[in-house]
Every structure is written in C-alpha cells, then in structure tokens.
Amino acid sequence: MRKIGIPEIEDIALGAALLGAGGGGDPYVGKLIAIGAVQECGPVTILDPDEVPDDALVVPIAMMGAPTVLCEKAIGGEEYKTLYETVSAFYGKPIYAFMPIEAGGVNSMLPIAAAARLGLPLVDCDGMGRAFPELQMVTFTIGGGSATPMAMVDEKGNSCIFRTVTNKWTEEMARAVTMACGGSVSVSLYAMEGRFMKEYGVHGIVTRSETLGSAIRKVKEVSDKTPEEAFLEITEGYKLFQGKICDVLRDVRNGFNFGKVLLDGIGDDKGRSAYVEFQNENLTAVVDGKLLATTPDLICLVDIETFIPVPTDALKYGKRVMVVGLKCFPLWRTEAGLKLVGPRYFGVDTDYIPLEERCKGGC
C-alpha cells in the first residue's frame, strides 16, 4: 500500500502511454482528468493485488470509444459516482476498490480519477498489460470472466447496465451505445472478486508504468549509454526502425481510429521505408516489405529525441520517430490469447511469431 499524487501521476501517464502501443488515448488529456480529481479530492491509495481480500468486489473503470473524441467531449466528473452506485446496487455490496482494465494514456488515468473522487483504493493490476481496442480482449476472458454486468454512463447522465451471453456480444452492444452517445463513454466492466483478479490479472501494471515513465524522463541522464541505448534497455525494447512520418491515413469509423502511418528511413535506416497499421493500437510494423512485429506484441512509436511515446492520435507529417517492439504479457502468447488478440483476429493474414524471433539476427 502506498499513496500516489501528482508527480506519480505524471510518470504513470508517460509510462502507460508507451504501454498503450499507440492507443489508450492522449496521456495529456488523461493526466488532466486524474490530476484534477486528485487536486480536488486528495491522493489515491494503491494496493498490491495481494492486499485485496479474496471475496472483495473489484471493479475496473475505463472509457470506451475513440480516444480522439475524448479531447473534445470530456469527462464530467459525476460519471464515477453513477457507476459506483449502479454496480454496488446490482451486486448488493459496496465496491472495495477500482482498478484499470488496460494500460494507456487515458485508461490508466481514469481509474485514478475515479478512485480519488470516490475515496476508494486502486489495485496495481490490469487485464491487458498494454491497450487493445475491443473489450473482450482481456486476460479475464481467458479465465472465463464475464464482461457483464457492464455499466456505462455518458457525460449527460445517460446510463445503462448490460448482461450478455458472451463478451463478444458485450462488445457489440456496448459499442453501439458508445456510438449513440457520441463516440466515448465511461464504463465499468469485468467486475470481479479479489481472487479472480489475482489469478488472471497483469500484476504491478501501475508501478511498471510509473517506473517506465520515470526512466523515460531521465533517459538523457544515464552516463555510460546513449539515450537510445538507455531507453531500449529500460523498456527491454527491440528497435525496429527510425524514420520521418511521410503520410498518415486515418479513418474514424465504428467507434475506432483505424489507420496507417508511413515512414521514410533516417539515420541507419536511410533509404528504407516502413509502415505501421493501427486500430486504436498499432497492429503491425512492416519494414521494406518485411513484417517485423505484430499484435499482441507491443509496437510503439516514440519521439526520436525525447523518447516520449507518440499515440496514433498524435501522428503528424514530418515527425521523427523510432518504432520499438516490446514483448507482450505471456498469457497473450498462448492459443487462447492469440485467438482473442492475435494478428488473424484483426484481419492480418499471418501466424503470430514472437517479436524476438522475427527480429533474430537484427531487425
């Protein structure tokens, strides 16, 4: 158990934006929401998963929809209270703690805001260890957990609770409501008991985000390495490419940010070209026609000077970025994991080959 305030939030936002793998929303917007709540209601208690009783009700909090929309259609602040009341009433017992469902610039931040506003602790655990675009894409699905009863609320005060026969049906129904409400809503889903969270969750994700964020911020202070070497070491990342963004194709539809970013090589990669395709999160990285990384491994674009992650929302012509691959949480590499989030699910016609094998002998 420890308390986090504004400095920790800054680091968590930065680290989580990297783990967002291009998705998870703009950390600046997320940070403002979390900092606003902490300034108003005080610091938030972070619990280690093992500190949560087995039968306690733990509820993930997130936003659903296109992160791009959240910049203009913000969170009101009353949403978490409505979610708390709706879920508590449904289960007939109070919520013990909130938790994040994924790591990302926005969805790592909103649970902090919710915890601050309701005076509840936040568990250091999520269901992805990164960000993914659809809501059945969590380790809890592999464990047989149900996304529903799922509560949704918009900034106007409209709310609903779903119960569905599969998590894929939750996605279908919730996505439809998200679109009807203007493209982004606040949700609670996969409400679970402490014991299930401990068995299937990605432990330590808040702390990992904070550590990464802090290290990225200090990457130029490491004396015996270049900043790039230091960055790759702390993230355990594989450098896939470095280049200048020469085109960005975007298509916001069905509540997702679809697109493709094209890169012209610079430095060691001069004369080569690459592209990264995304559906909220980056899905594939292709260099000179060769596939170097696919989902569920993390494909992250970071600024070549500051190593600050560049989410898909912020991709712009002329920006110089490094494309980095990070290994995903081991459960995603199992057959059940790949069925949920492997390349074929996203329409990429290739088997999953782990990042480190694709990159063997140099990327």
Give the binding site for a second copy (CB under 8 A): 156-165, 169, 172-173, 175-177, 179-181
Question: Could you give the angle at which helices 110-118 and 27-41 cross, rounded to 10 degrees?
Answer: 10
CA quadruple 141, 160, 49, 206: dihedral sign: positive
* Segment (H or E) for 303: strand 298-303
| Tokens 């094998």 sit on residue | 357
Structure tokens at 176: 């439809």
The distance of closest approach from Cβ of residue 347 to a second copy in the complex, given in angstroms and rounded to an integer, is 20
Of 235, 340, 254, whose CA–CA distance to 295 is shortest? 340
Task: Report the residue number, 78 or 229, with the smaller CB distance to a second copy.
Answer: 78
Q: What element of type H or E holds 2? A: strand 2-4
Q: How far is the CB of 156 from a second copy (least distance, A)?
A: 5
Min dist CB 254 to a second copy, Å, is 11
Residue 353 structure tokens: 């080959």
Q: Which is nearer to a second copy, 180 or 249 (CB)?
A: 180
Q: Which residues have a Cβ under 8 Å from the Cβ of 144 and sit 6 or more positions away?
A: none
Among 181, 192, 219, smallest CA distance to 56 is for: 192
- Helix 27-41 vs helix 6-19: angle between axes, to the nearest 10 degrees? 150
Closest approach of a second copy to the CB of residue 232, in Å: 43
Using the minimum distance from each CB to a second copy, give the nearer residue, 88 or 273. Answer: 88
d(CA 111, CA 97): 10
- The Cα 221–Cα 241 span in angstroms is 24
- Nearest-approach distance from CB 286 to a second copy, in angstroms: 33
Q: Least separation, in Å, of the C-beta of 175 and a second copy?
A: 7
Coil, strand or helix: which one is 243?
A: strand
Structure tokens at 249: 């194709």
Nearer to a second copy among residue 181 and residue 302 (C-beta)? 181
Q: How far is the CB of 172 from a second copy (least distance, A)?
A: 5
Region of 129 (left: φ > 0; alpha: ψ -120 to 50; beta: rest) is: left
Answer whether 301's CB lies under 8 Å from 263's CB: no
CB of 167 to a second copy, least distance (A): 11
Per-position DSSP letters for 19-69, written without gaps between them:
HTTT-S--HHHHHHHHHHHHHHH--EEEE-GGGS-TT-EEEEEEEEE-HHH
CA distance 237 to 223: 19
Nearer to a second copy, 76 or 330 (CB): 76
> Could you tell me whether strands 122-123 and 44-47 are parallel, antiparallel, or unpaired per DSSP bridges?
parallel
Closer Cβ to a second copy, 1 or 165, answer by number: 165
Residue 184 CB, shortest distance to a second copy, in Å, is 14
Counting every residue written for the chain, the total comes to 363
Residue with smaller CB distance to a second copy, 63 or 286 = 63
**Which one, 6 or 74, has the nearer CB to a second copy?**
74
Nearest residue (CB) to a second copy, 74 versus 180: 180
